[in-house]
Amino acid sequence: MRALILVDLQNDFMPGGALAVPDGDAVVPVANALAASSTYAHVIATQDWHPADHGSFAANHAGRSPGEQIELHGLAQVLWPVHCVQETRGAAFVDTLEASRVTKVFFKGTDPTVDSYSGFFDNGQRKATGLGAFLKDQGVNAVDVLGLATDYCVKFTALDAARLGFATRLVVDGCRGVNLSEGDSERAVAEMRAAGVEVVESDALLAAGARD
Ligand code: VGL
Ligand code: ZN
């Protein structure tokens, strides 16, 4: 059984948002098309869901700016603009997402002391969100991953999925990256591929959907 995992399709990651991913809105039609197909036993969504005092926000570190790197409680941390603050419009799903297809939501980044790029674990791999246990409990053994951003939350979600033993595919046309450094997204895709993630296009999945 396969699940679709939609990573962080939230207003703050869309053009005009606080942490806008270039062309980020282009992935929403891909998410909607796949979510509407009958291929998936579950359509899961993650939401980046930070308290206002989150340690990943540059604004919470005197004299620091977004894009700088610090050490946060022993872990390397890129500093970000304030984004996806719990209960704000920026943290809500983008309106164009057909959210009624989503069967279960997992929240991440709720602990102010540690960031959480993966939908499965925090960046220290200490606390689970419950996503892995939920999927296993439901008999899911395969996942398709898409969303924002390729070089952060999508990458770490797909890597954890593969590591946990799920047959993992990255729907590459359903992802866009932040690209703080040029080529970050390409390197992220290569890293996922090297970890056993299959890289696929949504068209091929939708065409195959009629067969499986
Ligand atoms: C993300 C940076 C900070 C993401 C979340 O969704 O990729 N990136 N928080
Ligand atoms: Zn975040």
User: Using one digit for the tens of pLDDT, what is the confidence trace for 153-165?
Assistant: 999 999 999 999 9
User: Using one digit for the tens of pLDDT, what is the confidence trace for 189-207?
Assistant: 999 999 999 999 999 999 9
**Of all atoms in ligand 1, which is nearest to the CA of residue 48?**
5
Look at ligand 1, atom 4, and give the residue with the nearest C-alpha: 153
**Of all atoms in ligand 1, which is nearest to the CA of residue 7?**
6
**Considering only CA atoms, which of 111, 103, 122 is closest in space to residue 5?**
103
Residues annotated as catalytic (active site), given as ranges: 8, 108, 153
Q: How far is the CA of 5 from the centre of ligand 2 (A)?
A: 17
In the chain, % of residues over pLDDT 90:
97
Q: Enumerate residues lining ligand 1, CB below 6 A.
A: 8, 13, 48, 80, 148-149, 152-153
DSSP string, 44-100: EEEEE-B-TT-TTBGGGSTT--TT-EEEETTEEEE-B-S--BTTSGGGSBPTTS-GG
Q: Which CATH number fits domain 2-48+93-211: 2.40.50.100, 3.40.50.300, 3.40.50.850, 3.40.50.720?
A: 3.40.50.850
Res. 210: pLDDT tops 70 = no
- Burial of 204 per CB tally in 10 Å (0-12, 13-18, 19+): exposed
**Considering only CA atoms, which of 50, 47, 36, 45 is closest in space to residue 146?**
45
Please tell me the predicted confidence (pLDDT) of residue 209: 79
> What is the residue extent of each domain of the chain?
2-48+93-211
Q: How far is the CA of 142 from the centre of ligand 2 (A)?
A: 26
Q: How far is the CA of 200 from the centre of ligand 2 (A)?
A: 26
User: Using one digit for the tens of pLDDT, what is the confidence trace for 95-134?
Assistant: 999 999 999 999 999 999 999 999 999 999 999 999 999 9
The model carries a pTM of 0.97
